[in-house]
Amino acid sequence: MRQDLRQRTKEFALRIIKLYVAIPQKGVGFVLGPQLLKAGTSVGAHYREACRAKSNADFISKIEGALQELDETAYWLELLSDGGVMSSRRLVPLQTEAEELTKILVTMVKKVKDRRTSNVRAYLRTN
């Protein structure tokens, strides 16, 4: 799964780059485009950092960073659509992918937090 998610977040970034190139570089698009580009390409970078985490806390922190970037990406996509800068039909696949990646990363964080809590409880019972 780790390799699949590495590839999936990279493909998400590449799709964001392609969208950025298509955004009109005038008016609102000039402002929103760079914001989208930064947030959308940061998701994969945060995930890769999480893969090299030194602890559970470090892993959670990095994944939560990716989640923040995904939420921000979704926001910029909404503004591009609702502001009439881009066709909502073009943005829906990216919005869907952002939602799916969010669900996956939230599940990962919950599992690590649950495991950590279980370990603490087990330790407390034995001591």
| Residue 117, helix vs strand vs coil | helix
For the chain, list the domains and their CATH numbers: 2-126 (1.20.1440.60)
What value does the mean pLDDT of the chain take?
91
Mean pLDDT to the nearest integer, 24-46: 96
Give yes or no for a contact between 39 and 76, defined as CB atoms under 8 angstroms apart: yes
Mean pLDDT to the nearest integer, 27-35: 95
Burial of 28 from C-beta contacts in 10 A (0-12 / 13-18 / 19+)? middle
pLDDT given at position 117 = 61
Q: If we measure between CA atoms, which residue out of 43, 50, 45 comes closest to residue 74? A: 43
Q: What is the pLDDT of residues 81-127, one digit of tens each?
A: 999 999 999 999 999 999 999 999 999 999 998 876 655 455 445 55
pLDDT given at position 3 = 66
pLDDT given at position 2 = 60
Would residue 60 be called left, alpha or beta, if left means φ above 0 and alpha means ψ between -120 and 50 degrees?
Answer: alpha
Between 113 and 22, whose confidence is greater?
22
